Amino acid sequence: MLLPNPKRILLKLSGEVLMGEQDYGIDPAYVLRLAEEVKAARDTGLQICLVIGGGNIFRGMAGAAQGMDRAQADYMGMLATVMNALAMQSALEQLGVDTRVQSAIQMDQVCEPVIRRRAERHLEKDRIVIFAAGVGAPYFTTDSGAALRAAEMRCDALLKGTSVDGVYDSDPKRNPEATRFDTVTYDKVLASNLQVMDASAVALCRDNNIPIVVFSIRERGNVARVLAGEGVQTIVQK
């Protein structure tokens, strides 16, 4: 069991999971299936903050590698996360779940700005709050955005739903001998440079004692399993 009774969690989804089986972009049917899992968790009484990456559309590093100005490319990446947030909002609303998007880059016509007290009120009213545009600054990632929002919203845990089912001692795609940790400390992740989240995100979680649960969101039903302390996952903690 992850925590005796988590009341509020932050769920971070990599942008790439929104692609479903596609190579790029957003698969609305797959986003709907993700939304069903989020709704089921919300329906248990859990308060849920969501952060969604943008890697299915654009990553600043990729733009920079092709000669773009890094900061400019990062802003494009942040805009991609807003598109993903709107797609998830649309899916959740199709399921009847009230949702608000709060963006770290202000865009009044499409969503709210990040206002912590307002986000609190949304959560109290059983709304899901999707935090978009990461921390709102280049040279960061949505992992750091997720850690920041988890800290400021005082979440009991940060759940990272991604394409791999946990944290390994080496890259499982390249090394068939790679072994998965059930639990691992923040310090080990940082010292061994394990691929969980970027170092600033891990450090922020460590300093605020927020456990990070890494699990595969591709397996249907895994959000509920992870919340029940079941299934395959890695917990990063003290």
Residues of the shown chain interacting with ligand UDP in the complex, contacts defined by CB under 6 A: 14-16, 53-55, 59-61, 74, 77-78, 80-81, 134-135, 137-138, 140-145
Return the number of the residue (77 or 211) whose C-beta is nearest ligand UDP.
Answer: 77
* Least distance from ligand UDP to the Cβ atom of residue 14, Å: 4
Per-residue burial over 48-62, b if 16 or more Cβ lie within 10 Å, else e, is bbbbbbbbbbbbbee
Distance between CA atoms of residues 133 and 104, nearest Å: 5
HSE-up (13 A, CA, CB side) for residue 110: 17
Minimum CB–partner distance for residue 192 and ligand UDP (Å): 21
Nearer to ligand UDP, 126 or 208 (CB): 208
In whole angstroms, how close is the CB of 65 to ligand UDP at the nearest point?
Answer: 11
Rounded distance between C-alpha atoms, residue 120 and residue 118, angstroms:
5
14 is in an annotated binding site: yes
Residue 53 assigned ligand-binding role: no
Q: What are the DSSP E strand ranges found in the chain?
A: 8-13, 47-52, 99-103, 112-113, 128-132, 157-162, 183-185, 212-216, 234-237
Alpha helices in 51-141 (DSSP H): 60-65, 70-94, 116-124
Find the shortest distance in angstroms from Cβ 157 to ligand UDP.
18
Instruction: Name every residue whose Cβ is closer than 8 Å to that of residue 216 and which is 6 or more positions away in sequence.
Output: 161, 162, 163, 164, 165, 166, 222, 232
Q: Any known ligand binding at 162? A: yes
Residue closer to ligand UDP, measured from CB, 126 or 218 = 218
CB nearer to ligand UDP: give 60 or 211.
60
In angstroms, the Cα distances linking 25 to 43, 76, 130 are 28, 14, 19
211 labelled ligand-binding: no
Residue 193: CB minimum distance to ligand UDP, A:
17
Task: Count CB neighbours of 29 within 10 A.
Answer: 9
**Minimal distance, residue 112 CB to ligand UDP, in Å:** 17
Say if residue 30 carries a ligand binding annotation: no
- SS3 (DSSP) at 12: strand
| 55 known member of a binding site | yes
Q: Is 43 annotated as a binding residue?
A: no
Q: Which of 80, 3, 88 is nearest to 37 (CA)?
A: 88
Q: Which CB sits closer to ligand UDP, 61 or 199?
A: 61
For ligand UDP, give the closer residue by CB, 199 or 228.
199
Which residues contribute to the annotated binding site for ATP? 12-15, 55, 59, 162, 168, 171
Which residues contribute to the annotated binding site? 12-15, 54-55, 59, 74, 135-142, 162, 168, 171
